[in-house]
Structure 1
Amino acid sequence: MKRIGLSLMAISMLVGAANAQLKVNTKAIGAVGKGVKAAAYSDADAARDAAAGVKWMDEHNPVADANDPYTVRLNKIFGKHKSEDGLNLNYKVYKVVDINAFACADGSVRVFSSLMDIMSDDELLAVIGHEIGHVRNHDSKDAMKAALTRSAVADAAGSQSGVAASLTDSQLGALAEAMMDSKHSRKQETDADTYSYDFMKKHGYNVMGAYNAFMTLASLSEGGAQASKFQKMMNSHPDSKQRAEEVKKRAQKDGLWKEADIKKIK
């Protein structure tokens, strides 16, 4: 499978690592079309078009079935959050080598098995909370709009039926590619971090999971050629250790800081 570097639509706690496995259509994305007018593109439009892109990804990547240990674990961790903060969420596990996760404007949450391999349940909850934050804060709508503007299917967004009803498989793949390449601003990342912490606190989860998740990311950026590539892809994000320190400050202020729960990074 062709190697690709991913910067997923709504992630930004994570970015795809080297030897990426997640499949998207890698044909050239066409020139920018007419674009999507901000005033005309709604949350509902973004949800509809994101659902089309995610459907394509689900059909072209290995998805863990209901009895797979990864799915069982994710259900245990996250099953009660199918409806969260006014959002209807659906989630699946992609069995790929990328260390990543993402969420889209339609409420689709996709967690990668390799991420689950290196993170605890509390860390995964913090990551997913961060992704929900991007959807709740409308960052995912902005990313979807940007994806349509960049992709060869931009003109289709102006139709009443949206992209899903009229695109070919190849065009949907191009849309998925553009979704993958969308990024968030540092402010959007910081706001999603805040949402993640509040999500953890509201539901009584151990907020140390957010701290440990950032420290795990920091460890991935240290040493070797692969780490250098990871660092390059993380340049658009706030520093992971700095983000961990922000969690620490909030947890100490809230009386939730637990030295004993600091993860030992190998």
Structure 2
Amino acid sequence: MKKRFIALGVLFLSFGFVEANAQILSDKAMGALGKGVSGFTFSDADAAALAKKAIDEMDANNPVAGTNDGYSIRLNRLFGKHISSEGVALNYKVYLVKDINAFACADGSVRVFAGLMDIMDDNELLAVIGHEIGHVVNHDTRDAIKAAYKKEALLDVASSQSGKIETITQSQLGQLGSAMIDSKHSRKQESEADNFSYDFMKKNGYDVNAVESAFRILQNLSEGAEASFLTKMVSSHPDSGKRAEEAKKRAVKDGLYKAYIQQKIVNTAPVKATTTKKKVTTKKK
């Protein structure tokens, strides 16, 4: 895969999103949604069902770190205690790709890229995934799926009161995947997720200054060789510099601010100690 830097918060990425069948809302129901028919409700359960199918396809078609991989060991150490947050059941995996990103889905799936884990220490990584959890808890991921449906206009307005789950075609799933990639969170949603991340860090006794530090890292990346690509990706979001400043202001207000010093980053599996048996010899009498 060609290396590229991708802004945080993208729900589904273009790589590995192969065509497949998935159970989602019927054409009739989504026709109602697209036309604003009040009789249709896109529930959290609907969003989670679609997200589960999509993430299963992504997991099947991308390099997922195994349980004994150093990246998985590190992520499990950090987030094993946070498998449930605000009543949302979460599951974590690492994609062994160089892209710098993390994303969350409406079903509670959180996927972190090895490229991100290579440049952020434990506290910074906690801050980033806390942000992604915020998008799930705040229903932003559900709203993004809903917006993707409306944008793609995959559905027929006729007989729109049926809200059951049906099978869509492979080409429709491809269309939906592209729409979800383009469906970015609003500035308000990003700010609320940033606040959730800070509160998550504070509540769990982590260093809140890592929130600012994580955004500073992204800011530095956006000002580098990949700046034009990042600018396109985050055009509808608050820039990382401003978000870093907001996190710093909160830390100052709480009397917790101090310049953050990045800790050592270790993504390798611990080496198991090996013991060798000494050969016992007996002297002949």
* 1:75 aligned partner, one-letter code: N
Deviation at 1:3, TM superposition (A): 8.7
1:57 aligns with 2:58: yes
Report the number of matched residues: 247
1:78 aligns with 2:58: no
* 2:149 aligned partner, one-letter code: L
Question: In the aligned structure 2, how far is the partner of 1:247 from the partner of 1:190?
Answer: 10
Matches within 5 A, 1:14-93: 22-25=15-18, 34=31, 36=33, 37=36, 39-93=40-94
- Residue 110 of structure 2 corresponds to 109
More helix, by proportion:
1
Question: In the aligned structure 2, how far is the partner of 1:21 from the partner of 1:114?
Answer: 16
Deviation at 1:172, TM superposition (A): 3.5
* 1:218 aligned partner, one-letter code: Q
Question: In the aligned structure 2, how far is the partner of 1:135 from the partner of 1:52?
Answer: 17
Question: In the aligned structure 2, how far is the partner of 1:106 from the partner of 1:236?
Answer: 24
- Whether contact under 8 Å (1:130, 1:195) holds in the other structure is yes
C-alpha spacing 1:158/1:77, structure 2 compared with 1 (3 Å): farther
C-alpha spacing 1:221/1:132, structure 2 compared with 1 (3 Å): same
C-alpha spacing 1:21/1:72, structure 2 compared with 1 (3 Å): farther
C-alpha spacing 1:222/1:229, structure 2 compared with 1 (3 Å): same
Deviation at 1:66, TM superposition (A): 0.9
Matches within 5 A, 1:120-135: 120-135=121-136
* 1:200 aligned partner, one-letter code: M
Question: In the aligned structure 1, how far is the partner of 2:168 from the partner of 2:200?
Answer: 37
- Residue 254 of structure 2 corresponds to 254
Question: In the aligned structure 1, how far is the partner of 2:174 from the partner of 2:11?
Answer: 20
C-alpha spacing 1:159/1:70, structure 2 compared with 1 (3 Å): farther
Q: In structure 1, the residue corresponding to 2:189 is in which secondary structure?
A: helix
C-alpha spacing 1:68/1:3, structure 2 compared with 1 (3 Å): closer
Deviation at 1:130, TM superposition (A): 0.6
- Residue 29 of structure 1 corresponds to none
Deviation track 1:112-142 (CA, whole Å, cap 9, x = no partner) reads: 1101111111111111111111111111111
Report which of the two structures shows the higher radius of gyration computed on alpha carbons: 2
- Residue 241 of structure 1 corresponds to 241
C-alpha spacing 1:96/1:3, structure 2 compared with 1 (3 Å): closer
Question: In the aligned structure 2, how far is the partner of 1:177 from the partner of 1:3?
Answer: 20
C-alpha spacing 1:187/1:128, structure 2 compared with 1 (3 Å): same
Question: In the aligned structure 2, how far is the partner of 1:146 from the partner of 1:244?
Answer: 28
- Whether contact under 8 Å (1:25, 1:170) holds in the other structure is no
Q: In structure 2, the residue corresponding to 1:115 is in which secondary structure?
A: helix
Deviation at 1:158, TM superposition (A): 7.5
Q: TM-score, normalised by structure 2?
A: 0.77
Question: In the aligned structure 1, how far is the partner of 2:65 from the partner of 2:217?
Answer: 24
Specify every segment of 5 or more residues in structure 2 that has no aligned partner in the other structure, as ranges: 20-29, 264-285
Q: Considering only aligned residues, what root-mean-square deviation do their CA atoms show, in Å?
A: 2.9
C-alpha spacing 1:129/1:5, structure 2 compared with 1 (3 Å): closer
Q: In structure 2, the residue corresponding to 1:250 is in which secondary structure?
A: helix
Stretch moving more, 205-214 or 150-159: 150-159
* 2:255 aligned partner, one-letter code: G
C-alpha spacing 1:151/1:55, structure 2 compared with 1 (3 Å): farther
Deviation at 1:252, TM superposition (A): 1.1
Specify every segment of 5 or more residues in structure 1 that has no aligned partner in the other structure, as ranges: 27-32
Question: In the aligned structure 1, how far is the partner of 2:11 from the partner of 2:229?
Answer: 10
Deviation at 1:220, TM superposition (A): 0.4
Q: TM-score, normalised by structure 1?
A: 0.82
Stretch moving more, 111-120 or 152-161: 152-161
Stretch moving more, 200-209 or 51-60: 51-60
C-alpha spacing 1:115/1:4, structure 2 compared with 1 (3 Å): closer
- Whether contact under 8 Å (1:24, 1:177) holds in the other structure is no
1:228 aligns with 2:228: yes
